[in-house]
Structures are given as structure tokens and as C-alpha cells.
Amino acid sequence: MSETLTDRVRAVILGGDFVPNQRLIEADVCEQFGASRAAVRETFKELASEGLVEIMRNKGARVRAISKAEAVEITEVRMVLEGLAAYKAAERVTPEQAAGLRAIVADMRAAVEANDLDRYSELNVALHAGIREIAGHRTAAAIIERLGAQVVRHKFRLARQPGRAAVSLPQHELVVAAIVARDPEAAQTSMQQHLRSVVKALESSPD
């Protein structure tokens, strides 16, 4: 599937090249991406519907800044939906998928021991995505991914807090153990406890 202009601009925002509150000048975006003004306007509308861009009356668009309070609320909603995904994954997991999840958490442990936070963050994303894929709940997955994109900067900062990875690793291990054991209720509970820990870490982080 070919990458759309919206995909490309979204990737730049999530990658941090466009920063919160940065004005998005139509002409500059047209030039940067080799696109027409009409296409850029449509992309701004699509990204506004995803919560990544804010369209200001008579002032164009800017990258939407997500406050800490909003990031907490978004994570609380994710807690419910990711708990559902973990529940469904425990019902549906195959032996091959279980082995894949075990391999990811083993790599996460190795990353913590090596103090490789970038690698740990990548594996964290891969683990949550893998659980959503096993769950096969497309509606929950779509909402989780959209909400996750809005708080990507907060997650990035949180991942770099000293000792944070060592706290979240055993939480992830509990989630995977419950899914592999095909225990839906334990999987849901452990995932929700993990996200509740993320909420507490966000609340105690600087604004």
C-alpha cells in the first residue's frame, strides 16, 4: 500500500521533527512534501480528526500540544481498551504467538540489563502491538493506536525516566505470562495494573 501525504506528515509529527505548538505553514509543507495546497489542507483536516493537529480560524494549523492532564486521561482510556485486548489475546493465542511474546520479553530483559533504553522502547511498542494483533479486536486496536499517537512524546519522556524500564519490565512479564497461560482475566488485570502504573508515573512527572 502506497504511503499517503497524511501518513508522511503524521510520521514527521510523531518523529518529533514538528514540535508541539509549531505552526504548519501551508506553503512550506507543500514544498517539503511536493504536494498541492488542496492536498495539504485535506491532510491537516485528517490529522486534526486524529488529535495531532489543531486548525485555528484564520491562522492555519499547528501541531497540537497534549497537556499532562490530557495524557493521563488518554492513558486511563487506554487502560480499559488494552485490558480488553489482553483478555482477547489470552483467549486466542496460538503456541507460535506465545513463543513470539516470550521472545520479546526476553529481549526486553536483555535491554534493561544493558541499559539500552531506545531498544527497550522499541520492544515495548512491539509487545503491545503484538498483543493487539493476537487479540484480533480491530475496533479496540484502532482506538488504542490513535490515542497512543497523541501521547507519543509523553511516552518517550517517561521511557527515559531513571529506573522506569526496570519497573515496567516485570509488569510486562506478568501480562505475557497470563496470555501464554490462556488466562483472560489475569491478562486483563495485569495489563490494567501496568497502565495504572503508567498513569501514576505521568502524574508524578514534571509538566
Of 140, 122, 121, the closest CA to residue 132 belongs to: 140
CB 166 within 8 A of CB 112: yes
Retrieve residue 44's grid coordinates.
491537516
- Kindly tell me if the per-residue pLDDT of 1 is higher than 60: no
Interval 54-98: pLDDT, tens: 998 877 899 999 999 999 999 999 999 999 999 999 999 999 999
- E strands present in 59-173: 60-63
- Compute the average pLDDT of residues 155-167: 87
User: How far is the C-alpha of 25 from the C-alpha of 182, rounded, in Å?
Assistant: 51
Is pLDDT larger for residue 30 or for residue 58? 30
**By percentage, how much of the chain surpasses pLDDT 70?**
99
Interval 98-108: pLDDT, tens: 999 999 999 99
Task: Give phi and psi for 18, each to the nearest 5.
Answer: -105, 125
- Kindly tell me if the per-residue pLDDT of 35 is higher than 70: yes
Q: Which helix (H) or strand (E) holds 54?
A: strand 53-56
User: How far is the C-alpha of 147 from the C-alpha of 51, rounded, in Å?
Assistant: 8
| Average pLDDT score, the chain | 93
**In a 3-state reduction of DSSP, which class is residue 96?**
helix
Model confidence, pTM: 0.87
